[in-house]
Amino acid sequence: MFTRRQALLGAAAAGVMVAALPSMASAAPVSEAEIAALPRQKVTLVAPPFVHAHEQVATTGPKVVEFVMTIEEKPIVIDDEGTVLQGMTFDGSIPGPMMVVHEGDYVELTLVNPASNSMPHNIDFHAATGALGGGALTLINPGEQVKLRFKATRSGTFVYHCAPEGPMIPWHVVSGMAGTIMVLPREGLKNEKGEPVGYDKVYYIGENEFYIPRDEDGNFKSYESHGDSYADTLEVMKSLTPTHVVFNGAKGALTGENAMTAKVGETVLIVHSQANRDTRPHLIGGHGDYVWEEGKFANPPAKDLETWFIRGGSAGAALYTFLQPGVYAYVNHNLIEAVELGATAHFLVEGEWNDDLMKQVEAPGPIPVN
């Protein structure tokens, strides 16, 4: 049987054939002894939309950054009606936590698949080079763990996701197994003129679409286990019509009391990933001052965007300085997906209103009769 995995390997081999020209990312290999001599840093990951503390401008040379992620298969409630997803997660959250390193650092991930899980899993880092992004070296059964090291040779925001085999690949991804790594340039972010730009806060928004099967009456079905849900879920997946499109794993995960916060004058970096499907983030009443739509910091950012495009299988980054207080909705500007399917988040921004930028000159009232 010719599997999807073999097809992916075939495509990878073809890529090797045409990639004979040296690129910026290729350099003389560093010896194992030299890598062993590098400083090491252990980072504890935090659940999105938050991001672990990190330097924007690297104050030291390259290092080995150690992360641990534990895979958790678990049912997750994804809306107010109590609809249950047979979720699969990196470290318990959808999306998986965001990792931050600098270009030239080594990422050393210990991936743990506890015996309480039921399936093999792995991780494909779009930021990594070779072996299916590490997917071919990290496939682990329940009760196993693996340690992968890769060099972060390209700066930018990159998706990582589980990619076991065949139809398991999209199933695991749309069950929640995706996240992002941000590889910052050592000198930090730059605008289109090459001038340094920074952020006061960073939020990571992972968008996911879910495909929950329905019963004959149109109600969402629940299942005893991942295995029980598989066949029905695959049928809904093949319709390419999601039942939910959400930020951070559930409808309302980032609205109301869970709103992200900022102050007028603060610059916020918003990293947005979608591992499987295109999306188009928009901050209602705000803008993207600088947007790396494709998420790759070696390219100059676009300026003053109203809406930006995140290709399925990628993560982008938008930098914005809030200028007015209030509640901002941050949406997927397919407004059906935003309002009906769940792809809405909120920013709650405190500060002084600026009448110069906007003022209600006359309150709503009856149309005058002359």
Active site members: 121, 124, 126, 161-162, 172, 177, 282, 306-307, 333
CB of 45 or CB of 177, closer to Cu ion: 177
Strand partners, 100: 182
**C-beta of residue 270 within 8 angstroms of C-beta of residue 317:** yes
Distance of alpha carbon 78 from alpha carbon 233, whole angstroms? 15
CB of 162 or CB of 237, closer to Cu ion: 162
Bond into 167 cis (ω within 30): no
Rounded least distance, CB 40 to Cu ion, Å: 28
CB of 172 or CB of 226, closer to Cu ion: 172
CB of 68 or CB of 329, closer to Cu ion: 68
Residue 79: strand, helix, or coil: coil
Rounded least distance, CB 88 to Cu ion, Å: 5
Q: Going by C-beta distance under 8 Å and a sequence separation of 6 or more, which residues neighbour residue 327? A: 259, 346, 347, 348, 349
Distance of alpha carbon 194 from alpha carbon 187, whole angstroms? 11
CB of 48 or CB of 164, closer to Cu ion: 164
Rounded least distance, CB 135 to Cu ion, Å: 10
Return the ∠ at Cα 330 (arms to 327 and 332), rounded to 5°. 155
Where on the chain is the footprint of Cu ion (CB under 5 A)?
A: 121, 162, 172, 177
Q: Going by C-beta distance under 8 Å and a sequence separation of 6 or more, which residues neighbour residue 289? A: 267, 303, 304, 318, 319, 320, 321
Other Cβ atoms less than 10 A from the Cβ of 321: the count is 17
Counting beta carbons within 10 angstroms of the beta carbon of residue 113, is it exposed (0 to 12), middle (13 to 18) or buried (19 or more)?
buried
Residue 195: strand, helix, or coil: coil
Residue nearest to Cu ion (CB): 162
Rounded least distance, CB 337 to Cu ion, Å: 25
Rounded least distance, CB 162 to Cu ion, Å: 3
